[in-house]
Amino acid sequence: MVWVLDSTLREGEQTPGVYFDKHIKLAIANMLDEVGVDIIEAGHPMVTPEIHAAVKSIAQKDYKAIVGAHSRSLKADVDLALECGVNFIGIFYCVSDERLNNVFKKDLNTAINQITDVIKYAKSQKPDLLVRYTPEDTVRSQFENVVTAAVAAVEAGADIISVADTTGYMVPGTKRSMYDYISRLKDEFAKRNLNPKVAVHCHNDRGLALANSLDAYRAGADIIDATTLGLGERAGITDLAQLLVVLTVDFGENRWNLKKLPELYDLVSKHSGVPIPHNFPMTGKNAFTHCAGVHTHAASINPMHYESLTPELLGRQREFALDHMSGIASLRYALGLIGENEIDEEMQNDILKEVKAVGQRGRTIDLSELKHIVDAVKHHQTYKHI
Protein backbone atom coordinates (compact mmCIF):
# COMPACT_ATOMS: atom_id res chain seq x y z
CA MET A 1 0.00 0.00 0.00
CA VAL A 2 1.46 3.30 -1.07
CA TRP A 3 0.78 6.63 0.60
CA VAL A 4 0.14 9.79 -1.34
CA LEU A 5 1.29 13.15 -0.03
CA ASP A 6 -0.44 16.17 -1.49
CA SER A 7 1.62 19.34 -1.61
CA THR A 8 -0.82 21.67 -3.41
CA LEU A 9 -0.65 24.07 -0.47
CA ARG A 10 3.15 24.04 -0.21
CA GLU A 11 4.82 23.18 -3.53
CA GLY A 12 1.67 24.24 -5.41
CA GLU A 13 1.78 27.70 -3.91
CA GLN A 14 5.35 28.00 -5.21
CA THR A 15 3.83 28.27 -8.71
CA PRO A 16 4.68 31.82 -9.80
CA GLY A 17 1.83 34.17 -8.91
CA VAL A 18 -0.26 31.63 -7.02
CA TYR A 19 -1.60 32.55 -3.62
CA PHE A 20 -4.43 30.86 -1.76
CA ASP A 21 -6.18 32.80 1.01
CA LYS A 22 -6.52 31.01 4.30
CA HIS A 23 -10.20 30.12 3.78
CA ILE A 24 -9.39 28.77 0.32
CA LYS A 25 -6.52 26.73 1.75
CA LEU A 26 -8.98 25.27 4.25
CA ALA A 27 -11.48 24.45 1.51
CA ILE A 28 -8.73 22.75 -0.52
CA ALA A 29 -7.53 20.82 2.55
CA ASN A 30 -11.11 19.67 3.29
CA MET A 31 -11.42 18.31 -0.24
CA LEU A 32 -8.02 16.65 -0.15
CA ASP A 33 -9.11 14.90 3.02
CA GLU A 34 -12.30 13.77 1.30
CA VAL A 35 -10.30 12.49 -1.65
CA GLY A 36 -8.38 10.51 0.97
CA VAL A 37 -4.76 11.57 0.51
CA ASP A 38 -2.60 10.32 3.36
CA ILE A 39 -0.57 13.45 4.08
CA ILE A 40 -1.48 17.08 3.43
CA GLU A 41 1.65 19.22 3.28
CA ALA A 42 -0.01 22.44 4.38
CA GLY A 43 2.81 24.96 3.92
CA HIS A 44 6.02 26.37 5.29
CA PRO A 45 5.01 28.46 8.32
CA MET A 46 8.19 30.55 8.29
CA VAL A 47 7.42 32.01 4.85
CA THR A 48 4.64 34.45 5.87
CA PRO A 49 2.41 35.02 8.92
CA GLU A 50 -0.58 34.16 6.70
CA ILE A 51 0.88 30.78 5.82
CA HIS A 52 1.66 30.21 9.49
CA ALA A 53 -1.98 30.95 10.38
CA ALA A 54 -3.28 28.70 7.62
CA VAL A 55 -1.06 25.75 8.60
CA LYS A 56 -2.26 26.15 12.17
CA SER A 57 -5.94 26.13 11.17
CA ILE A 58 -5.50 23.11 8.93
CA ALA A 59 -3.56 21.21 11.62
CA GLN A 60 -6.41 21.80 14.05
CA LYS A 61 -8.95 20.09 11.80
CA ASP A 62 -9.98 16.58 12.62
CA TYR A 63 -8.81 15.08 9.35
CA LYS A 64 -8.11 11.46 8.53
CA ALA A 65 -5.02 12.75 6.72
CA ILE A 66 -1.81 13.60 8.55
CA VAL A 67 -1.16 17.34 8.35
CA GLY A 68 2.42 18.44 7.81
CA ALA A 69 4.63 21.50 7.53
CA HIS A 70 7.73 22.17 5.49
CA SER A 71 10.80 23.32 7.38
CA ARG A 72 14.39 24.29 6.74
CA SER A 73 16.98 22.53 8.82
CA LEU A 74 16.67 25.13 11.56
CA LYS A 75 15.29 24.83 15.08
CA ALA A 76 13.32 28.08 14.67
CA ASP A 77 11.44 26.58 11.70
CA VAL A 78 10.74 23.40 13.65
CA ASP A 79 9.47 25.41 16.63
CA LEU A 80 7.06 27.34 14.47
CA ALA A 81 5.82 24.16 12.78
CA LEU A 82 5.29 22.46 16.13
CA GLU A 83 3.48 25.48 17.44
CA CYS A 84 1.00 24.98 14.58
CA GLY A 85 0.26 21.50 15.94
CA VAL A 86 1.31 19.49 12.87
CA ASN A 87 2.03 15.76 13.11
CA PHE A 88 4.55 15.72 10.27
CA ILE A 89 7.55 17.87 9.47
CA GLY A 90 9.48 17.75 6.22
CA ILE A 91 13.03 18.99 6.71
CA PHE A 92 15.14 19.69 3.64
CA TYR A 93 18.82 20.41 3.22
CA CYS A 94 21.04 19.97 0.21
CA VAL A 95 24.13 17.73 0.53
CA SER A 96 25.69 18.02 -2.93
CA ASP A 97 29.35 19.08 -2.93
CA GLU A 98 28.62 21.89 -5.38
CA ARG A 99 25.84 23.46 -3.33
CA LEU A 100 27.65 22.97 -0.02
CA ASN A 101 30.80 24.64 -1.38
CA ASN A 102 29.24 27.39 -3.45
CA VAL A 103 26.10 28.33 -1.53
CA PHE A 104 26.40 27.22 2.08
CA LYS A 105 30.23 27.33 2.37
CA LYS A 106 30.07 24.25 4.56
CA ASP A 107 31.59 20.80 4.50
CA LEU A 108 29.43 17.69 4.45
CA ASN A 109 30.03 16.82 8.11
CA THR A 110 28.95 20.24 9.32
CA ALA A 111 25.83 20.03 7.18
CA ILE A 112 25.00 16.54 8.44
CA ASN A 113 25.47 17.65 12.05
CA GLN A 114 23.06 20.50 11.47
CA ILE A 115 20.51 18.13 9.94
CA THR A 116 20.77 15.49 12.66
CA ASP A 117 20.66 18.10 15.45
CA VAL A 118 17.42 19.49 14.08
CA ILE A 119 15.89 16.03 13.64
CA LYS A 120 16.83 15.04 17.21
CA TYR A 121 15.45 18.33 18.47
CA ALA A 122 12.14 17.87 16.64
CA LYS A 123 11.78 14.32 17.96
CA SER A 124 12.62 15.39 21.51
CA GLN A 125 9.89 18.03 21.37
CA LYS A 126 7.26 15.63 20.05
CA PRO A 127 8.26 11.94 20.02
CA ASP A 128 5.35 10.78 17.83
CA LEU A 129 6.06 13.42 15.19
CA LEU A 130 6.68 11.97 11.73
CA VAL A 131 9.93 13.44 10.47
CA ARG A 132 10.91 13.38 6.82
CA TYR A 133 14.36 14.36 5.69
CA THR A 134 14.93 15.34 2.05
CA PRO A 135 18.40 15.85 0.61
CA GLU A 136 17.28 18.52 -1.86
CA ASP A 137 18.20 17.72 -5.49
CA THR A 138 18.84 14.18 -4.23
CA VAL A 139 19.32 12.55 -7.58
CA ARG A 140 22.00 14.96 -8.89
CA SER A 141 23.92 14.93 -5.59
CA GLN A 142 26.86 12.59 -4.99
CA PHE A 143 25.28 9.25 -4.08
CA GLU A 144 27.75 8.70 -1.19
CA ASN A 145 26.77 12.09 0.29
CA VAL A 146 23.09 11.21 0.07
CA VAL A 147 23.63 7.82 1.69
CA THR A 148 25.79 9.28 4.49
CA ALA A 149 23.28 12.05 5.20
CA ALA A 150 20.21 9.81 4.93
CA VAL A 151 21.70 7.13 7.19
CA ALA A 152 22.67 9.77 9.77
CA ALA A 153 19.18 11.28 9.54
CA VAL A 154 17.50 7.91 10.13
CA GLU A 155 19.83 7.17 13.05
CA ALA A 156 18.90 10.58 14.47
CA GLY A 157 15.20 9.66 14.29
CA ALA A 158 13.93 10.52 10.79
CA ASP A 159 11.05 8.22 9.80
CA ILE A 160 11.01 9.05 6.10
CA ILE A 161 13.75 9.78 3.57
CA SER A 162 12.51 11.53 0.47
CA VAL A 163 14.23 11.31 -2.89
CA ALA A 164 13.70 14.65 -4.60
CA ASP A 165 14.09 14.99 -8.34
CA THR A 166 14.13 18.75 -7.80
CA THR A 167 14.89 19.59 -11.44
CA GLY A 168 12.96 16.84 -13.24
CA TYR A 169 16.18 15.21 -14.39
CA MET A 170 15.34 11.51 -14.25
CA VAL A 171 14.42 9.48 -17.35
CA PRO A 172 12.90 5.98 -17.11
CA GLY A 173 14.84 3.22 -18.78
CA THR A 174 18.16 5.10 -18.78
CA LYS A 175 21.09 5.33 -16.35
CA ARG A 176 19.10 8.07 -14.64
CA SER A 177 16.14 5.89 -13.75
CA MET A 178 14.17 6.46 -10.58
CA TYR A 179 13.60 2.70 -10.38
CA ASP A 180 17.34 2.11 -10.06
CA TYR A 181 17.85 5.05 -7.72
CA ILE A 182 15.21 3.94 -5.22
CA SER A 183 16.37 0.31 -5.44
CA ARG A 184 19.98 1.29 -4.71
CA LEU A 185 19.01 3.52 -1.81
CA LYS A 186 16.81 0.84 -0.28
CA ASP A 187 19.72 -1.62 -0.58
CA GLU A 188 21.97 0.79 1.32
CA PHE A 189 19.41 0.99 4.15
CA ALA A 190 18.90 -2.78 4.18
CA LYS A 191 22.69 -3.35 4.45
CA ARG A 192 22.62 -1.32 7.66
CA ASN A 193 19.41 -2.87 8.99
CA LEU A 194 17.60 0.44 8.67
CA ASN A 195 14.05 0.58 7.44
CA PRO A 196 12.84 4.15 6.91
CA LYS A 197 9.89 4.84 4.66
CA VAL A 198 11.12 6.04 1.29
CA ALA A 199 9.29 8.90 -0.41
CA VAL A 200 9.62 10.36 -3.87
CA HIS A 201 9.10 13.91 -5.15
CA CYS A 202 9.28 14.23 -8.93
CA HIS A 203 9.37 17.52 -10.82
CA ASN A 204 7.95 17.60 -14.30
CA ASP A 205 10.57 19.55 -16.28
CA ARG A 206 10.81 16.75 -18.86
CA GLY A 207 7.13 15.84 -18.62
CA LEU A 208 8.18 12.62 -16.88
CA ALA A 209 7.07 13.26 -13.30
CA LEU A 210 4.29 10.67 -13.35
CA ALA A 211 6.44 8.09 -15.16
CA ASN A 212 9.25 8.60 -12.64
CA SER A 213 6.81 8.40 -9.72
CA LEU A 214 5.52 5.07 -11.04
CA ASP A 215 9.10 3.90 -11.50
CA ALA A 216 9.71 4.71 -7.83
CA TYR A 217 6.52 2.89 -6.89
CA ARG A 218 7.65 -0.24 -8.73
CA ALA A 219 10.93 -0.08 -6.82
CA GLY A 220 9.01 -0.04 -3.55
CA ALA A 221 8.66 3.65 -2.65
CA ASP A 222 6.25 4.07 0.26
CA ILE A 223 5.09 7.64 -0.34
CA ILE A 224 4.55 9.61 -3.56
CA ASP A 225 4.23 13.41 -3.66
CA ALA A 226 1.76 15.12 -5.97
CA THR A 227 -0.21 18.34 -6.36
CA THR A 228 -3.55 19.31 -7.83
CA LEU A 229 -3.05 20.25 -11.48
CA GLY A 230 0.62 19.32 -11.04
CA LEU A 231 1.23 22.83 -9.68
CA GLY A 232 4.68 23.74 -8.40
CA GLU A 233 7.96 25.44 -9.26
CA ARG A 234 8.53 25.76 -13.05
CA ALA A 235 6.71 22.86 -14.77
CA GLY A 236 5.42 21.59 -11.42
CA ILE A 237 5.37 18.06 -10.03
CA THR A 238 3.31 14.87 -10.45
CA ASP A 239 -0.38 15.54 -11.05
CA LEU A 240 -2.54 14.17 -8.23
CA ALA A 241 -5.53 13.03 -10.31
CA GLN A 242 -3.37 11.24 -12.88
CA LEU A 243 -1.39 9.52 -10.14
CA LEU A 244 -4.44 8.39 -8.16
CA VAL A 245 -6.33 7.13 -11.20
CA VAL A 246 -3.36 5.16 -12.56
CA LEU A 247 -2.54 3.69 -9.13
CA THR A 248 -6.18 2.65 -8.78
CA VAL A 249 -6.85 1.31 -12.26
CA ASP A 250 -3.47 -0.12 -13.19
CA PHE A 251 -1.85 -1.03 -9.89
CA GLY A 252 -4.79 -2.17 -7.80
CA GLU A 253 -4.46 0.50 -5.10
CA ASN A 254 -8.01 1.40 -4.22
CA ARG A 255 -8.32 3.81 -1.37
CA TRP A 256 -9.25 7.14 -2.87
CA ASN A 257 -12.48 8.92 -3.63
CA LEU A 258 -11.70 9.73 -7.25
CA LYS A 259 -15.14 11.25 -7.84
CA LYS A 260 -14.16 14.22 -5.66
CA LEU A 261 -11.27 15.12 -7.95
CA PRO A 262 -13.14 17.21 -10.59
CA GLU A 263 -14.53 19.48 -7.86
CA LEU A 264 -11.09 19.84 -6.26
CA TYR A 265 -9.57 20.70 -9.64
CA ASP A 266 -12.21 23.34 -10.38
CA LEU A 267 -11.61 24.94 -6.99
CA VAL A 268 -7.83 24.96 -7.32
CA SER A 269 -7.94 26.16 -10.91
CA LYS A 270 -10.29 29.00 -10.02
CA HIS A 271 -8.24 30.23 -7.10
CA SER A 272 -4.80 29.67 -8.61
CA GLY A 273 -5.74 31.29 -11.90
CA VAL A 274 -4.16 28.32 -13.66
CA PRO A 275 -6.62 26.93 -16.23
CA ILE A 276 -7.00 23.18 -16.59
CA PRO A 277 -5.81 22.49 -20.17
CA HIS A 278 -8.71 21.08 -22.19
CA ASN A 279 -6.67 18.02 -23.08
CA PHE A 280 -5.40 17.40 -19.52
CA PRO A 281 -5.81 13.68 -18.66
CA MET A 282 -8.63 12.83 -16.22
CA THR A 283 -9.75 16.36 -15.36
CA GLY A 284 -9.50 18.31 -18.64
CA LYS A 285 -12.70 19.36 -20.41
CA ASN A 286 -11.96 17.04 -23.35
CA ALA A 287 -10.58 14.07 -21.42
CA PHE A 288 -13.73 12.01 -22.13
CA THR A 289 -15.04 13.72 -25.26
CA HIS A 290 -15.08 11.89 -28.60
CA CYS A 291 -14.97 13.99 -31.70
CA ALA A 292 -14.27 12.53 -35.15
CA GLY A 293 -17.20 10.76 -36.80
CA VAL A 294 -15.40 7.41 -36.96
CA HIS A 295 -14.72 7.58 -33.23
CA THR A 296 -18.18 8.65 -32.14
CA HIS A 297 -19.77 5.98 -34.34
CA ALA A 298 -17.71 3.21 -32.74
CA ALA A 299 -17.88 4.73 -29.24
CA SER A 300 -21.65 5.03 -29.41
CA ILE A 301 -21.78 1.26 -30.05
CA ASN A 302 -19.25 0.53 -27.28
CA PRO A 303 -17.20 3.32 -25.63
CA MET A 304 -14.30 0.99 -24.97
CA HIS A 305 -13.44 1.10 -28.69
CA TYR A 306 -11.92 4.51 -27.98
CA GLU A 307 -11.53 4.57 -24.18
CA SER A 308 -9.20 2.78 -21.82
CA LEU A 309 -10.57 4.66 -18.81
CA THR A 310 -14.23 5.35 -18.15
CA PRO A 311 -15.43 8.82 -17.17
CA GLU A 312 -17.59 7.27 -14.41
CA LEU A 313 -14.37 6.63 -12.47
CA LEU A 314 -14.23 10.35 -11.79
CA GLY A 315 -17.99 10.83 -11.70
CA ARG A 316 -17.77 12.45 -15.14
CA GLN A 317 -19.76 11.87 -18.31
CA ARG A 318 -18.72 10.80 -21.75
CA GLU A 319 -19.36 13.46 -24.36
CA PHE A 320 -19.53 13.57 -28.12
CA ALA A 321 -18.35 16.88 -29.49
CA LEU A 322 -20.13 18.42 -32.43
CA ASP A 323 -17.89 20.27 -34.84
CA HIS A 324 -16.60 19.93 -38.40
CA MET A 325 -15.25 16.44 -37.56
CA SER A 326 -18.69 15.14 -36.63
CA GLY A 327 -20.52 12.43 -38.48
CA ILE A 328 -24.12 11.36 -38.46
CA ALA A 329 -23.60 9.12 -35.38
CA SER A 330 -22.55 12.04 -33.17
CA LEU A 331 -25.40 14.13 -34.46
CA ARG A 332 -27.99 11.40 -33.82
CA TYR A 333 -26.63 10.91 -30.33
CA ALA A 334 -26.85 14.64 -29.59
CA LEU A 335 -30.32 14.90 -31.15
CA GLY A 336 -31.41 12.13 -28.81
CA LEU A 337 -30.15 14.14 -25.85
CA ILE A 338 -32.36 17.09 -26.83
CA GLY A 339 -35.38 14.87 -27.48
CA GLU A 340 -35.26 15.17 -31.29
CA ASN A 341 -35.57 11.51 -32.20
CA GLU A 342 -38.09 11.87 -35.01
CA ILE A 343 -36.11 13.95 -37.48
CA ASP A 344 -35.82 12.28 -40.89
CA GLU A 345 -32.54 11.48 -42.55
CA GLU A 346 -32.68 14.32 -45.07
CA MET A 347 -33.12 16.91 -42.34
CA GLN A 348 -30.39 15.26 -40.26
CA ASN A 349 -28.03 15.77 -43.20
CA ASP A 350 -29.03 19.44 -43.44
CA ILE A 351 -28.42 19.91 -39.71
CA LEU A 352 -25.06 18.19 -40.03
CA LYS A 353 -24.05 20.64 -42.77
CA GLU A 354 -24.79 23.56 -40.44
CA VAL A 355 -22.93 21.88 -37.60
CA LYS A 356 -19.87 21.44 -39.80
CA ALA A 357 -20.06 25.05 -40.94
CA VAL A 358 -19.96 26.24 -37.33
CA GLY A 359 -17.18 23.78 -36.52
CA GLN A 360 -15.03 25.25 -39.26
CA ARG A 361 -15.02 28.46 -37.31
CA GLY A 362 -12.92 26.64 -34.73
CA ARG A 363 -15.46 25.89 -32.07
CA THR A 364 -17.82 23.16 -30.91
CA ILE A 365 -21.60 23.24 -30.78
CA ASP A 366 -23.23 22.61 -27.43
CA LEU A 367 -26.71 21.22 -26.99
CA SER A 368 -28.44 24.58 -26.63
CA GLU A 369 -26.91 25.82 -29.87
CA LEU A 370 -27.89 22.55 -31.54
CA LYS A 371 -31.52 23.30 -30.62
CA HIS A 372 -31.25 26.63 -32.46
CA ILE A 373 -29.77 24.93 -35.49
CA VAL A 374 -32.56 22.33 -35.49
CA ASP A 375 -35.21 25.09 -35.26
CA ALA A 376 -33.64 27.02 -38.11
CA VAL A 377 -33.44 23.95 -40.35
CA LYS A 378 -37.02 22.94 -39.49
CA HIS A 379 -38.20 26.41 -40.53
CA HIS A 380 -36.04 26.39 -43.65
CA GLN A 381 -34.09 29.35 -42.34
CA THR A 382 -30.39 29.86 -42.57
CA TYR A 383 -28.75 29.44 -39.19
CA LYS A 384 -26.98 32.69 -38.28
CA HIS A 385 -23.85 31.39 -36.66
CA ILE A 386 -21.23 33.64 -35.23
Q: Distance between alpha carbon 265 and the CA centroid of its chain, in Å?
A: 10
Applying CB under 6 A, which part among 78-86, 104-112, 159-167, 280-288 lies near ligand HCA? 159-167
**Minimum distance from residue 90 beta carbon to ligand HCA (Å):** 5
Q: Is 116 in the site for ligand HCA (CB under 6 A)?
A: no
Applying CB under 6 A, which part among 54-62, 158-166, 250-258, 280-288 lies near ligand HCA? 158-166
The residue annotated as part of the active site, out of 52, 201, 203, 295, is: 295
Strands (E), the chain: 3-6, 39-41, 66-72, 88-92, 130-134, 160-165, 197-202, 223-226, 289-290, 319-320
By CB under 6 A, the count of residues binding ligand HCA is 11
β-partners of residue 21 are none
Q: Is 92 in the site for ligand HCA (CB under 6 A)?
A: yes
Closest to Cu ion by CB, 204 vs 296, is 204
DSSP category for residue 72: E
Closest to ligand HCA by CB, 162 vs 228, is 162
Q: Is 3 in the site for ligand HCA (CB under 6 A)?
A: no
Q: Is 166 in the site for ligand HCA (CB under 6 A)?
A: yes
**Minimum distance from residue 237 beta carbon to ligand HCA (Å):** 7
Q: Distance between alpha carbon 194 and the CA centroid of its chain, in Å?
A: 30
Closest to ligand HCA by CB, 13 vs 369, is 13
| Residues from 230 through 259 that contact ligand HCA (CB under 6 A) | none
Q: Is 159 in the site for ligand HCA (CB under 6 A)?
A: no
| CB of 281 closer than 8 Å to CB of 249 | no
**Minimum distance from residue 203 beta carbon to ligand HCA (Å):** 6
Q: Is 11 in the site for ligand HCA (CB under 6 A)?
A: yes
Q: Is 19 left (phi over 0), alpha (psi -120 to 50) or beta?
A: beta
**Rounded alpha-carbon distances, angstroms, from residue 260 to 11, 213, 276, 333:** 21, 22, 16, 28
**Rounded alpha-carbon distances, angstroms, from residue 200 to 163, 221, 238, 363, 366:** 5, 7, 10, 41, 42
Q: Is 77 in the site for ligand HCA (CB under 6 A)?
A: no
Applying CB under 6 A, which part among 53-61, 161-169, 282-290, 303-311 lies near ligand HCA? 161-169
Q: Under DSSP, is residue 341 helix (H, G, I), strand (E, B) or coil?
A: coil
Q: Among Cu ion, ligand HCA, none, what does residue 136 contact (CB within 5–8 Å per kind)?
A: ligand HCA
| CB of 348 closer than 8 Å to CB of 331 | yes
The DSSP-derived string for 174-225 is STT-HHHHHHHHHHHHHHTT---EEEEEEB-TTS-HHHHHHHHHHTT-SEEE
| CB of 331 closer than 8 Å to CB of 322 | yes
The residue ranges that bind Cu ion (CB under 5 A) are: 11
Closest to ligand HCA by CB, 95 vs 331, is 95
380 annotated active-site: no
Q: Among Cu ion, ligand HCA, none, what does residue 272 contact (CB within 5–8 Å per kind)?
A: none
Measured at the CA of 363, the angle between CA 263 and CA 260, to 5 degrees, comes to: 10
Closest to ligand HCA by CB, 56 vs 203, is 203
**Minimum distance from residue 166 beta carbon to Cu ion (Å):** 6
Closest to ligand HCA by CB, 68 vs 262, is 68
Distance CA 8, CA 254 (A): 22
| Catalytic residue ranges | 295
